[in-house]
Amino acid sequence: MKNIILFGASEFGKKILPFYRNSYYNILAFCDNDKSKYGKQLDGINIISPKEIVSMPFDEIIICSSFDDEISNQLINIGIPLDKIKVSNSNEQSVQLGRSNNLFMAEELMFFICELFNKYKLNYHIDHGTLLGIIREKRILPWDIDIDIAVLSNNLDEMIFLLDKNLNKFTSSFCKTNNWKFKLHERLMTLDNKEKLYPMVVKVFNEVDNLSISSFSLDIELKYESKNFLYWMVGSRKLSARKSICFPMKDYVYKEKIIKIPKYESKYLEVLYDNWKIPKKEWTYSQYNNIE
């Protein structure tokens, strides 16, 4: 049995937990950089600080976060050997949408949000893995982990207003609680030689027992324009694309519903994934083709 520490006491960490709860792994602890979590538990597992790692008898530290580059460097700086650091695959089976009710529920939520944005003429398009699945395979990829939508940053206030007024109207026949919420997250980004916190992603999720944890989330990424390029953050990675590839967006009919996709969707997918026509089920955020 391998003794492991999961780095990232987060929504993704909890989602991925079942993959490591078996006879092959012994989970010693969660580790996190958020001091407010120290001394608490996530799903019955203690949350520790990075300083406590060095005194624990672990065989491997598994990073469950999109900030894997920073965390890897942090662990190396405190003396953890590189061969004991692993980045969890973002598409581990336990966090995939799969072919279950999660996938159908995710699709229902996507159609609700797209219909709302279409009605009020927001500048948006389906993005990342969701776009990849719909264009390449005419489906939501069962090995994807969320739904991705991109919105121009100058639509932020109107988008928040629309979600605040309308999200409570959404109900999924595949969800028992239908307690849908949204939360805005900020990220540090350098734009025009200035680094600051930007509103970056709005996560839409079903709140369970007052926890911002659900079987999946719909992520609305905000994209910022500068000198004819769009910039946005995925975890700690800054991505970019020419605005003219994405906007003005165009209509696309998917399962008899109108959704918006980038103006030149094939070119955009090439910017993101390079050879996007070949499926890669084992994929990490470091494989984006357009990291700045």
Domain harbouring 192, CATH code? 3.30.460.40
Range of the domain at 71: 2-88
pLDDT in tens, 202-243: 999 887 644 444 457 899 999 999 999 999 999 888 999 999
pTM: 0.76
| Same domain? 81 vs 119 | no
What is the reported pLDDT for 95?
55
| Same domain? 250 vs 107 | yes
Q: Is 137 exposed, middle or buried (0-12, 13-18, 19+ CB in 10 A)?
A: exposed
pLDDT in tens, 56-102: 999 999 998 878 888 999 999 999 999 999 988 655 545 567 666 88
Whether 191 is in a domain gets the answer yes
| Same domain? 46 vs 185 | no
**Measuring CA to CA, which residue among 218, 236, 64 is closest to residue 127?**
218
Angstrom CA distances, 138 to 69, 130, 255, stand at: 33, 10, 9
| Partner residues linked to 20 by β-bridges | none
Whether 254 is in a domain gets the answer yes
Whether 292 is in a domain gets the answer no
| Same domain? 35 vs 121 | no
**Measuring CA to CA, which residue among 260, 266, 255 is closest to residue 125?**
260
Domain boundary among 68, 88, 108: 88
Domain harbouring 67, CATH code: 3.40.50.720
Domain boundary among 49, 66, 88: 88
Are 41 and 29 a contacting pair, CB within 8 Å?
no
Q: How many domains does the chain have?
A: 2
Whether 209 is in a domain gets the answer yes
| Same domain? 34 vs 105 | no
Whether 206 is in a domain gets the answer yes
| Same domain? 272 vs 227 | yes
